[in-house]
Chains A and B, each alone.
Chain A
Amino acid sequence: MSLKELLSSTTSADRFLFLLLLLLSLSGILFVKEVLPGGSTVQIEANGRPAYILPLDKDGTVTVEGPLGKTLIEIKNQRVRVADSPCSNKLCIEQGWVKSGTIICLPNRVVIRVGDHDKSTTVDATTG
């Protein structure tokens, strides 16, 4: 049965039901994609390799190994910070607690990104 034959053999009620089902399905897809929260994450890389992806709403500490030694990262109250670092300038520690954005420790090659990278509103890169 071709599409044309199929459509000509349907009644108005059939078509209405079909459209209704289609709309319900579409709204379901949109609901799952946009309304249900994905949850912010803390993405940690050490020495150019992904080390951890952690939820921002679970308090805890984690240690990653860079070329200079161990960097201690703390997550608390939906914020993240570098609590200890073997680098000499300690700029990563000075940055303090962050809720979004990035903490970078260049000497120990540790990158911490905070945010929901699956959401379309998230930036793909940052200049400045």
Chain B
Amino acid sequence: MKVKSNGKKYLSLVTLYFSLVALLSSCSSPGEHIFRKTAFLMDTLVTITVVSATKENAEKTTDAAFSEIGSLAKLFDFFSPESEISKINKNAGISEVKVSPDVIELLEKATYISDKTGGAFDVTIGPIERLYDFHKKIKPQEEEIRKNLPLVNYKDLIMNRDRSTVFLRKKGMLIDPGGIAKGYAADKATAVLIKNGIRSGIVAVAGDIKTFGLKPDGTPWRIGIRNPRAKDGEDDIMATVLLSDKAISTSGDYERFFIEDGKRYHHLLDPRTGHSAALCKCVSVIAKEGYFADALATGIFVIGPERGIKILEKLGFDGLIVDSQNQIYITPKIRGKIEFKRTVEQYHFS
């Protein structure tokens, strides 16, 4: 009897042991997996990451989100004559143009951020933007800038939500939504994913990133912040930050630029001077919504680090700024949450 009882006991112990080991070893794969898919939309690379139980569901939902971004791209495309933005631009100083709710919403958000940044971010920057070609190393004469600057003013962008119309007051004005459209698209694509039952993921429209939910292992998403002066890809990530239900965007003077006579000409133009803003090397903004992070990163880049950090704090957002002198500024709330790859002193950004 005793032998039988001991046998039963050890059998039960062995069963318990294997059950525990199986449970522990399966902890990192609880049935949900991370799926990632890319597409070329809005003239850039869009990567959507979702947590899903099946590949089929991940494919279906990411395709719906890509489709949303594709639809927005058609409305906002600065270069396509068929886009609603181009129609507004063509009718500048002539007549108001009936537009889709998304165009009104985007422009309302853009003008709101223009107000918050004192015009440092301005969606009507188009007349100045078109004077530069950073790939062909073309920059305008001072006279051309002087002539076009009066056409840049978000206060001359008139929206009527009731009639769903937009009007640019002066002939020659041009809306270029490039500084806000990608963040806005990331927000809208995220909404589509959530509506389709996805509880966790990332929408990255180039460097404009929106995160939601947690990874299958219960940790937040780890987002890398690019080193503004990375060499041969070795130190391309300057720092990482853990995010969930937050958006992050970065504006840097290394995206589209050329150097002439030792001076860097880049695409982040000051709407008040028509020249490349010179106070920062890169600005990352963390906000609840992608459109805010996107547009504010541009605006703060123009404003500069000291006032920029104060504006971020006032708005309740977080951010990291590398200024032109390689000084790093971080909002107090995320100090300690940003993990630098090296000590700050080891960076030589110039």
Contact A6 B207 (CB under 8 A): no
A89 to B256, CA, bound (A): 13
Q: Which residues of A contact B248 (CB under 8 A)?
A: 127
Inside 8 A of A45's CB, which chain B residues have their CB?
Answer: 38
Query: Does B340 have its Cβ within 8 Å of any Cβ on chain A?
Result: no
CA distance A61 to B59 in the complex (A): 30
Partner of B252, one of A25, A99, A128: A128
A52 contacts partner chain B, Cβ-Cβ < 8 Å: no
Chain A: which residue is nearest B207 at the CB level? A127
- Bound complex: CA A14 to CA B211 (Å): 48
Whether A10 contacts B9 in the complex (CB less than 8 A), given A101-B237, A124-B222, A125-B202, comes out as yes
A54: Cβ under 8 A from any B Cβ: no
B25 on the A face (CB < 8 A)? yes
> Is B225 touching A127 in the complex (CB atoms < 8 A)?
yes
Q: Which residues of A contact B249 (CB under 8 A)?
A: 127
- The answer to whether A22 and B224 touch across the interface, beta carbons within 8 angstroms, is no
Question: Which of B13-21, B78-86, B102-110, B169-177 is found at the contact surface with chain A?
Answer: B13-21
7 A-B residue pairings within 8 Å (CB atoms) = A10-B13, A18-B16, A100-B233, A106-B40, A106-B44, A127-B226, A128-B227
Within 8 A of B (CB), among A16-64: 18, 21-22, 25-26, 29, 33, 45, 48
Determine the interface band of chain A, counting residues with CB < 8 A from chain B. 35 or more
With an 8 Å Cβ cutoff, the count of chain B residues facing the other chain is 52
Report whether B233 and A101 are in contact in the complex, using a CB–CB cutoff of 8 Å: yes
Shortest Cβ distance from residue B61 to the other chain A in the assembled complex, whole angstroms = 16
Q: Known contacts A89-B135, A101-B236, A123-B224: does B12 contact A128 (CB below 8 Å)?
A: no
Q: Is the CB of A124 within 8 A of B221?
A: yes
Contacts A25-B21, A48-B38, A101-B237 given; does A6 touch B16 at CB 8 Å: yes
Q: Give the distance to chain A from B325, nearest Cβ to Cβ, in Å.
A: 19
B1-12 CB mask vs A (1 if < 8 Å, else 0) is 000010011001
Q: Which residues of B contact A73 (CB under 8 A)?
A: none
* Nearest residue, chain B, Cβ from A33: B28
Which residues of the partner chain B approach A21 to less than 8 Å between Cβ atoms? 17
The interface bits of chain A over 114-128 (1 if a CB of B lies within 8 angstroms of the residue's CB, else 0) are: 100000111111111
Residues of A within 8 A of B5 (CB): 9
**B300 CB, min distance to chain A CBs, angstroms:** 14
A82 to B1, CA, bound (A): 75
Cα–Cα, bound, A103→B233 (Å): 9
A97 to B231 alpha-carbon distance, docked (Å)? 10
**What residue in chain B is nearest A80 (Cβ atoms)?**
B233
Q: Other CB < 8 Å A-B pairs besides A1-B8, A126-B226, 18 of them? A: A1-B9, A6-B9, A6-B16, A21-B17, A26-B24, A48-B38, A98-B232, A100-B234, A100-B237, A101-B233, A106-B44, A121-B222, A124-B202, A124-B221, A126-B225, A127-B250, A128-B207, A128-B282
Q: CB of A83 within 8 A of chain B?
A: no
> CB-nearest residue of chain A relative to B284?
A127
CB-CB under 8 A from A120, the residues of chain B are 217, 219, 222
CA distance in complex: A73, B277 (Å): 36
Cα distance A22–B45 in the bound complex, in angstroms: 46
Contact call B226/A128, Cβ cutoff below 8 A: yes
Task: Tell me how far the C-beta of B8 lies from the nearest C-beta in chain A, rounded to whole angstroms.
Answer: 6
Question: In the complex, what residues of B have CB within 8 A of residue A10's CB?
Answer: 9, 13
Residues from 70 to 128 in A contacting B, C-beta threshold 8 Å:
89, 95-101, 103-104, 106, 109, 111, 114, 120-128
A25 to B18, CA, bound (A): 10
- CB proximity of B145 to chain A, nearest CB, Å: 26
Contact partners of B204 in chain A: CB under 8 A: 125-127
Contact A6 B13 (CB under 8 A): yes
Q: Which residues of B contact A103 (CB under 8 A)?
A: 233
Give Cα distance in the complex from A48 to B49, angstroms.
Answer: 14
**Contacting pair A126 B233 (CB below 8 A):** no
Shortest beta-carbon distance, A49 to chain B, in Å?
A: 9
